[in-house]
């Protein structure tokens, strides 16, 4: 399995009508919605690995888990990918990917655009790391965060990177307009792409709630419950 073959399996390529658009523009937001434990982080790690294969830098920010747990996610997902697609010299490939990832942790109550910008500037000015993509895992969408999100969006635009978020939903809450959960209904305009992981029986559907060129609510992809890898079959 060649690196280019792995890149072409980017789920955004597989999901969108225009298969050339496999990333978000600078300053854009994407979100993955699901209940706890369904696979939000696993899906975003796969998006991150795809960017890393393209030699783009991914800054993974965790507001809940320690660095070693996040690192383990990457190791396990990459191992499954290497096994499933018979990647030759997987260890050597992994070593080339690691410099394109930086894991950072914050306390939820201490996280803000200004603090993030300060730390990103420090890394960049020292020549340590400059992100092309940022993942924010565990953002408190239960709170009214519209103003804070707007500040993060401005920061992403200034830095020339895009941002993906995980959004925890709840079984007991009925969806609102366009199938969006309550946490997203008032801030959906800030997001270019919104995906939902929806368990149905033994399958986990990846539904496109908001994807350019794709019908809202459509589901072309799945997460394999055993490996948490994205697949177009079940």
- Check whether 17 has a pLDDT greater than 50: no
Residue-number span of the structural domain to which 48 is assigned? 3-10+25-200
CA 134 to chain centre: 8
Three-state SS for 18-78 is: CCCCCCCCCCCEEEEEECCCCCHHHHHHHHHHHHHHCCCCEEEEECCCCHHHHHHHHHHHH
On whether residue 148 sits in a domain, the answer given is yes
- Measure the CA–CA gap between 38 and 199, rounded to whole angstroms: 8
User: Residue 143: pLDDT band by 50, 70, 90 thresholds?
Assistant: confident
User: Residue 29: pLDDT band by 50, 70, 90 thresholds?
Assistant: very high
pLDDT tens column, 123-139: 999 999 999 999 999 99
On whether residue 100 sits in a domain, the answer given is yes
On whether residue 59 sits in a domain, the answer given is yes
Structural domain count of the chain: 1
On whether residue 156 sits in a domain, the answer given is yes
Taking Cα atoms as reference points, which of 11, 91, 95, 18 lies closest to residue 51?
Answer: 11
How big is the chain, counted in residues?
234
User: Residue 1: pLDDT band by 50, 70, 90 thresholds?
Assistant: very low
On whether residue 224 sits in a domain, the answer given is no
Taking Cα atoms as reference points, which of 63, 130, 134 lies closest to residue 99?
Answer: 130
On whether residue 38 sits in a domain, the answer given is yes
On whether residue 140 sits in a domain, the answer given is yes
**Contact partners, residue 3, CB within 8 Å, separation at least 6:** 53, 93
What global pTM score does this model have?
0.91
On whether residue 145 sits in a domain, the answer given is yes
Label residue 151 exposed, middle or buried (CB < 10 Å: 0-12, 13-18, 19+). middle
- Position 74 scores a pLDDT of 97
Angle at 180 between CA 176 and CA 183, to 5 degrees: 90
- Check whether 47 has a pLDDT greater than 50: yes
Q: What is the CATH number of the domain that holds 142?
A: 3.40.50.300
């Amino acid at each position: 399995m060649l690196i280019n073959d792995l890149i072409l399996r980017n789920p955004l390529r597989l999901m969108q009508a225009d298969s050339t658009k496999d990333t978000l523009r600078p300053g854009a937001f994407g979100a993955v919605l699901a209940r706890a434990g369904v696979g939000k982080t696993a899906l975003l790690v796969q998006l991150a690995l795809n960017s890393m294969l393209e030699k783009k830098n991914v800054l993974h920010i965790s507001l809940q888990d320690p660095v070693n747990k996040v690192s383990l996610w990457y190791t396990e997902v990459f191992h499954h990918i290497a096994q499933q697609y018979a990647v030759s010299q997987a260890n050597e490939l992994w070593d080339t990917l690691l410099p394109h990832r930086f894991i950072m942790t914050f306390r939820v109550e201490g996280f803000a655009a200004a603090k993030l910008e300060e730390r990103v500037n420090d890394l960049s000015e020292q020549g340590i790391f400059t992100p092309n993509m940022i993942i924010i895992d565990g953002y408190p969408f239960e709170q009214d965060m519209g103003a804070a999100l707007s500040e993060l969006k401005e920061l992403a635009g200034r830095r020339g990177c895009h941002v993906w978020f995980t959004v925890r939903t709840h079984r007991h809450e009925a969806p609102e307009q366009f199938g969006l959960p309550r946490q997203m209904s008032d801030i959906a305009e800030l997001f270019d792409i919104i995906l939902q992981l929806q368990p149905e029986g033994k399958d986990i559907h990846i539904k496109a709630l908001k994807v350019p060129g794709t019908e809202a609510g459509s589901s072309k992809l799945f997460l394999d419950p055993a490996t948490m890898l994205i697949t177009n079959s079940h």
